[in-house]
Structure 1
Amino acid sequence: MFSKTCEYALRALIYITQQTKDGGKIGIKDIAVGIDSPEYFIAKILQDLSRKGFVQSAKGPTGGFYLDETSLNRSLAEIVKEMDGDKIFTGCALGLKECSETHPCPVHHEFKSIRNNLYRMLQNNKVGDFVDRLDAHEAFLKK
């Protein structure tokens, strides 16, 4: 559904949130292991997310990644839009360039409700919302 880049970005931000909830920071190697991601790939993703303000980083021996209050309150929909664009929320299920209420593809009306539900679910869930479920082992970020 999402690009690999977007999947890793979502997993990394949620993982960083869980691992730094007590005010610490976490390094790239630990993030890569924690979400089962290639280290180089997640480093590039986090560099991009840091530049765009979705995650914060500090250099030095006690450095690493963490999320500030603003980042913790970002919706998953914002991250998806940043990484993959908004086509998943607005595009045609069949990839047609012109698909609308007045010129629908064969699955337009059914897919529209799926699209809207997906957007609503991602918009209503913030990056910081998952720590308790992860800590209780009710949800997982790694195989």
Structure 2
Amino acid sequence: MFSKACEYGIKASTYIALQSLEGKRISLKKIASAIDSPVAFTAKVLHQLAKHNILISVKGPSGGFEIPKEKIDSIKLSEIVFAIDGDSIYIGCALGFNECNASKPCPLHDKFVGIRDELKKMLRNTSLYELATGLEVGLTYLKR
């Protein structure tokens, strides 16, 4: 459903949020290890998230990534998805057709429109704080 970059972006943001709640700045290598992602690819994803002001990148020997504590609850998953994948998930065709709309629908169009709307609602209503606290108490995991 999400691109691989977006999946890593959500995982990385969640991990960084958890560390930030504990007052820690976390290195690129630790983030990549925690979410089981290649370091170079993780760096590219994190750069996109920093560019969209979702997280902060600090350079230098004690550098790394962080999210201000007061901002974690206001960051919604929809912002992360948009930063990485844009809005294609909300407008794309279920079967990948270039043209798919109500006047020229694919076989799944009518059913998929509702699913896309529910997905959009879930992403807009789910905060990074919710995901991070789920990790903190062991209800959720970032890798198996």
- Normalized against structure 1, the TM-score is what? 0.90
**1:139 aligned partner:** 140
Q: Is the 8 A contact 2:25 2:64 kept in 1?
A: yes
Residue identity in the other structure for 1:11:
K
Which moves more between the two structures, 89-98 or 49-58? 89-98
CA distance in 1, matches of 2:59, 2:99: 48
What is the count of residue pairs matched by the alignment? 143
Stretches (4+) displaced over 3 A: 69-72
- Normalized against structure 2, the TM-score is what? 0.89
Deviation at 1:62, TM superposition (A): 2.6
CA distance in 2, matches of 1:81, 1:49: 10
- Which blocks of at least 5 consecutive residues in structure 2 are unaligned? none
The alignment's C-alpha RMSD in Å is: 1.6
1:42 aligns with 2:54: no
Q: Between the two proteins, what is the percent identity of the paired residues? A: 43
1:88 aligns with 2:86: no
Is the partner of 1:65 in helix, strand or coil? Answer: strand
Is the partner of 1:111 in helix, strand or coil? Answer: helix
- Residues 34-54 of structure 1 deviation map (CA, whole Å, 9 limit, x = unaligned): 111111111121122212211
Deviation at 1:81, TM superposition (A): 1.8
CA distance in 2, matches of 1:81, 1:58: 23
CA distance in 1, matches of 2:10, 2:127: 11
Q: Is the 8 A contact 2:45 2:84 kept in 1?
A: no
Deviation at 1:76, TM superposition (A): 0.8
